[in-house]
Structure 1
Amino acid sequence: MVLKFTVSGLRGIWNNGLNFDILSEYVKIFLSYLKFRDYGNIVGIARDTRITSPVIKDFVSSIIRGCGFDVYDFGVVTTPMLLFLVRKLKLSGGVIITASHNPPEWNALKFVDFGGTFLDEEVVSKFGEFSKMDIVDWNRVGKVKSFSEEEVLKLFCDEIENKIDVDLIRRKKFKVAFDPVNGAGSEVGKLFLEYLGCNVIPLNDDVEKFPQRETEPTEKALGELKRAVLDNKCNIGFALDPDGDRLALVSEDGDIPGEEFTLPIAELSAIKYFYNENFSKKIVINLSTSSISEWVGKKFGFEVIRTKVGEANVVKKLKEENAFIGGEGNGGVIFPYINSARDSFVGISLILYLLSKEDVNISEIIRGFPRLKMVKNKIEGNLSDGQVCDIKAKLEEKFKLVDEKNIDGRWIGFSNGWIHIRPSNTEPITRVIFEGDDEFVFTVRETLKRYGV
C-alpha cells in the first residue's frame, strides 16, 4: 500500500492505498478545518486529465456538498489556476485532484486554504487533530455551480492584463511551440497563449492520451518539442508538467537549458520591469534551486532566502518576508503580484514580456547567465547520517565549507558549489542534488559512487 500526506498533498496509487474510504476521511477532516477557519461556505474544485480524476472529482464533490458546503466546479484547469480562483473569488478553500508528475496509476488530493495557498507544514502536522465533518440533513446539502473554460480563463486573463502590458506581447506575434503533456494545461494553455497573441504549434495536447511523453519537463523529455521549435521556426517552445505548475523552455535555436533556467529568466523580467516598493527586495527559493536564481537576485541588490523544498514552504516565507518573487528550480515561478503559487502561465507571461521589451531572442537572455552544472539523482531508501558526514568530510578536503542547513535533510554549501540530500515529499525515494563548477561536480560524483549513488 502506498499513501503519503505532506504539504504536497495526499498522494497514492489508486486502489492500492488511495480509495474512497481514504478520500472521504481526508476530505471530511479538511472541511472540518475550513469550518474552524470560518471563511465562508464555498469550496472550489478542479482536476487534471488522469483516467481516475473524473471519478475522484465527482466523489469528492459529493462529500463536500453532503457536508453542507457549496461547490464551485472549475472542471479541468491547472493547479495554480485553482489557487488563483480560490483567492480571486474569496472561496473558503479548494481541492485539486492531480498527482502532478507522478505516473498515471497515481492520483492525489491537494488541499487549498483560504487566500489561495496550499496548507502549510504546521497545518498538515496537526491535520489529525480535527474531527471529521458530519454529513448534514437532507435540506442542508450544498449546491454546485459549474464554470466553463472560457469563464475561468477570463478571470485569470483580466488579472494578467491589469498587471502586464499584454498589448506589447501581442504586437510581437510570437510563434510558440507548446507541449502540455496531455495534462490540465492542454486546452486552457492554448487559449491563454492565443490570448497573448501567439501563433501556437501544439503537441501532446490530446487530453484523452495522457501522457504521451515523460511527465516531468526535463531535458530528455523535450526532444519532440525541440524538433517542433526548429521545424516550425518558432521563437520559443514551452513545456508544462501535467498539472501546469512547472514550466520548461526550448530556445529558438533548439537549446534546452533545463528547468532551472525558467525561474531566473522570470526573475530578471519581474525585477527589471515590475518591482514596486510595496514588496521587500527579497527573493525566496528552496534549498534545491540553482544558484543562478541567487545570482540574478544579488545582481540587482536583492536578498536571497532559501527554504525547505515544497511550494507551501516557499509561499509561507514569501508572505512572512513580503518578498517580491520566488519559486523552485523545477520550473516553478511564484510571483505574488499576480498569483501566490507556482504558475506556468505567469512564467510564460513574464518571459514573453522580457523578450518583447528588450526585443531579443531567448537564447541571448540565456547566454547572459552563468552556466553551472546541476545533477539530480534519486536513490531507493536513505543515506545514513554517518554516510552524509563522510561525504561532507571528503568534500571539505578539496573545497572550503561556507554554509550548512539542516532544515530539510542536509544542505551543504562549499566555495565551488553545494549538495542537498533529502527524502522526497512526493515519492518513496531520497533525492541527491548538487551543483557547481566542473571540478566540484566531478568530485561529488566520484565521492557518491562509493555509496551507490
Structure 2
Amino acid sequence: MSDVATKRRRCLFGTDGVRDVANRGSMTPEMALRLGRAYVLFLTERGFPRPKIVVGRDTRRSGPMLEAALAAGMTSAGADVICVGVTPTPSVGFGVRFFSAQGGAVISASHNPAEYNGIKFLDGVGCKLSDEDELSIEDYLGDNLIDEWRPSGASVGSIESRECDFNRQYEDHVLDLVGHVGLDRASILFDCANGALSPIVSDMIGRMGMVNSSAVGNLPDGLNINEKCGVMAMEGLCKEVMARGMSLGIAYDGDADRVLLSDGKGRVLDGDIMLWIIGRWLHSRGELGAGVVATVMSNLALDHHLKADGIDVHRCPVGDRYVFQTMVEKDARLGGEQSGHVIVFPYTKTGDGLCTGFLFLRACNELKEDIDTLVDRFGRFPQKLTNIVVKDKSRVMNDGDIASAVESASKDLGDTGRVFLRPSGTEPLVRLLVECQDPNLMEEISSDLQRRILEMIV
C-alpha cells in the first residue's frame, strides 16, 4: 500500500465505513453520490456489469437525504438498487442473500449521536468489506473513470422500493434461525435505542406471544437515536428493569448490530458473558468448530471458563471485522467483542443484535442457566486501563526496553493475568491494560510500566 493511499484511507474509510457529521466533511450528499458510483465501478470491474445492490438506513433525519444521493450515484453507474428503508444493518446483509444481490450498503452511524451518519458497504454474501476492498473503492474516487463512466438509455440503473414488506421478511428469517426460545411467559424490556429496530421489535413481541414483555426507545423522531438509551446508556435500562420488576432487559444500538442485556438485578451482561454461554451451547451441539474468537480486550475470565469445557479461545485486534476474519482463518464458529458485537456463524454472517439476543436466551434455556447468577459466576479478573498521553506513540510502541518490560511482566503473570499496550487510533496516547487475579499485583505492574513509559518520554 502506498503512502498516498494510506493517507487517503485515514481521511475517508475508518474502522466501520465512512462516517462524519451528516452534510459536512466526508458525509455530504455529493460524497454519497460519488461513493455510490465508486462502489458500482468496484463491482463492475469484478465481473458484475449490472450489479443489484440492497440499500438500507437507520432512523436519522439525514438518512433519506443520503439514501437519495447514494442511490442516484449507483443508478447513474448502471446498478439496480433495492431500497429497503429503515432496517437494521444485519437485515441488509440478509437482504443481499434474499434478493440474490451482488452487494449492499447501509446508511448509519451506529452508536454515534444523531447528527452523524455513515455509509458502509457489504459484499455478495452480506458481510462487511475487507480493508483492501474499501481501499480499492477509495482509489476509484481519484480515478477519472468515475466521471467518465456514464451509461445511458436502458443501461441506466433502476430503483425499486421494498420498504413495505422487507422488515417482515427479515423477522421471518430471525424466527426461523432462533427456533423456539420459550419466551411466551418471560417479562423482557427491550430498548431499541430509537433506532433501526424500532419498527420491528413490537411486532416480534406480538408474533412470539410475549404478553408480559414491552419496548422502550422505540419512538424515533430522527434526532433521538442513541439519546440516553440503548447500549450506550445501559444504566437507564438496568434501572427500568428493576423498577418494573422485569426478568430481563435487552438493549441494541442505533443500527442493531450490537446487543447488551441486563439481568433481573440490573447488572449488565456484556459480550464476554454471551460468548461464554453461546460458546458452551454451540459446543454441546457440535456446532462450535475450532473454538471462540475474542478481541484482546475481552476479560481473561472468558478464557478460563471456556478452557474448563475444552474450548479454545483465539484472540484478535479490536473491531468486528477482525473478529470475522479470524473466525474464517481459524474455522471458529463464534466470535465477538465485549461491546456486544457477536457473530454466530451457524446462524448469522455478521453481528446481529436481534438474533444474538434471542440465541443467548435459547442457549440459557437449553443449558438450564440461571441468568441472574451469571455475573457472579463469571467472576471477572480485575483490570486496570491507563491512558498515557505521549507526543510520539510509535516511539513508545517501538522502544525495546518498554517492549521487554511488557513481555517480562506477561511471562511472570502466566495464565493468571496479562499485560497489553496499544496506541490509540484517534488520540495522542497509548493505552496500558493490566489484568490479574491478584488486584495488588495488578496495581504494582501497572504503576511500574506507567512509570517506565513516562520516564522515557520526558
Global fold match (TM > 0.5): yes
1:155 and 2:169 aligned: yes
Letter of the 2:251 partner, please give it. A
1:118 corresponds to which residue? 128
The 5 A counterparts of 1:24-173 are 24-39=33-48, 41-130=51-140, 131=143, 132-133=145-146, 134-148=149-163, 151-166=165-180, 168-171=181-184, 173=185
- The 1:232–1:293 alpha-carbon spacing in structure 2 relative to 1, beyond 3 Å, is same
Letter of the 2:420 partner, please give it. I
Helix, strand or coil at the partner of 1:61: helix
Q: Structure 2 CA distance, aligned partners of 1:297 and 1:206?
A: 39
Helix, strand or coil at the partner of 2:213: strand
Conserved 8 A contact 2:81-2:159: yes
Letter of the 1:118 partner, please give it. K
Structure with greater proportional helix content = 2
The 5 A counterparts of 1:159-198 are 159-166=173-180, 168-171=181-184, 173-198=185-210
Deviates more, 1:108-117 or 1:82-91: 82-91
1:9 corresponds to which residue? 17
- The 1:216–1:188 alpha-carbon spacing in structure 2 relative to 1, beyond 3 Å, is closer
State the Cα deviation string for residues 90-130 of structure 1 (Å, max 9, x = none): 21101101111223332211011111111112222333444
Conserved 8 A contact 1:46-1:74: yes
1:421 corresponds to which residue? 422
Conserved 8 A contact 1:177-1:236: yes
* Aligned counterpart in structure 1 of residue 214 of structure 2, from 201, 208, 222: 201
1:235 corresponds to which residue? 247
1:281 and 2:260 aligned: no
TM-score, normalisation: structure 2: 0.83
State the Cα deviation string for residues 165-201 of structure 1 (Å, max 9, x = none): 32x4244x21111112211122223333443433333
Q: Structure 1 CA distance, aligned partners of 2:128 and 2:317?
A: 15
- The 1:415–1:227 alpha-carbon spacing in structure 2 relative to 1, beyond 3 Å, is closer
Helix, strand or coil at the partner of 1:306: strand
Q: Structure 1 CA distance, aligned partners of 2:41 and 2:408?
A: 54
Conserved 8 A contact 2:226-2:253: no
Over the residues paired in the alignment, what is the CA RMSD in angstroms?
A: 3.1
Q: Structure 2 CA distance, aligned partners of 1:140 and 1:429?
A: 49
* Aligned counterpart in structure 2 of residue 217 of structure 1, from 223, 231, 239: 231
State the Cα deviation string for residues 129-149 of structure 1 (Å, max 9, x = none): 445542321433222222246
Helix, strand or coil at the partner of 1:400: helix
Conserved 8 A contact 1:79-1:244: yes
TM-score, normalisation: structure 1: 0.84
Q: Structure 1 CA distance, aligned partners of 2:240 and 2:178?
A: 28
2:268 corresponds to which residue? 256
- The 1:368–1:356 alpha-carbon spacing in structure 2 relative to 1, beyond 3 Å, is same
Q: Structure 2 CA distance, aligned partners of 1:79 and 1:431?
A: 32
Q: Structure 2 CA distance, aligned partners of 1:336 and 1:400?
A: 34
Task: Return 5+ residue gaps in structure 2 as ranges.
Answer: 1-9
Conserved 8 A contact 2:294-2:323: yes
Q: Structure 2 CA distance, aligned partners of 1:266 and 1:49?
A: 30
1:409 corresponds to which residue? none
- Give the superposition deviation at 1:249: 1.1
Q: Structure 2 CA distance, aligned partners of 1:418 and 1:189?
A: 41
Deviates more, 1:7-16 or 1:284-293: 284-293
Letter of the 2:266 partner, please give it. G
- Give the superposition deviation at 1:294: 2.9
State the Cα deviation string for residues 367-412 of structure 1 (Å, max 9, x = none): 332322345666787762443446555556655268xxxxxxxxxx
Conserved 8 A contact 2:126-2:349: yes
- Give the superposition deviation at 1:212: 5.7
- Give the superposition deviation at 1:423: 3.5
Conserved 8 A contact 1:261-1:331: no
- Give the superposition deviation at 1:433: 6.3
* Percent of matched pairs sharing the same residue: 21
Q: Structure 2 CA distance, aligned partners of 1:351 and 1:155?
A: 22
Q: Structure 1 CA distance, aligned partners of 2:62 and 2:254?
A: 14
Letter of the 2:71 partner, please give it. S
Helix, strand or coil at the partner of 1:244: coil
* Aligned counterpart in structure 2 of residue 387 of structure 1, from 392, 396, 399: 396
- The 1:297–1:82 alpha-carbon spacing in structure 2 relative to 1, beyond 3 Å, is farther
- Give the superposition deviation at 1:340: 1.0
1:306 and 2:315 aligned: yes
Conserved 8 A contact 1:391-1:447: no
Deviates more, 1:431-440 or 1:84-93: 431-440
Conserved 8 A contact 1:307-1:314: yes
2:411 corresponds to which residue? 400
- The 1:200–1:374 alpha-carbon spacing in structure 2 relative to 1, beyond 3 Å, is farther
Q: Structure 1 CA distance, aligned partners of 2:236 and 2:292?
A: 33
Helix, strand or coil at the partner of 2:265: coil
Task: Return 5+ residue gaps in structure 1 as ranges.
Answer: 403-412
Q: Structure 2 CA distance, aligned partners of 1:143 and 1:269?
A: 45
- The 1:79–1:429 alpha-carbon spacing in structure 2 relative to 1, beyond 3 Å, is farther
Helix, strand or coil at the partner of 1:368: helix
- Give the superposition deviation at 1:8: 1.3
- The 1:444–1:391 alpha-carbon spacing in structure 2 relative to 1, beyond 3 Å, is farther
- Equivalent pairs counted in the alignment come to 432
Conserved 8 A contact 2:80-2:157: yes
- The 1:203–1:441 alpha-carbon spacing in structure 2 relative to 1, beyond 3 Å, is farther
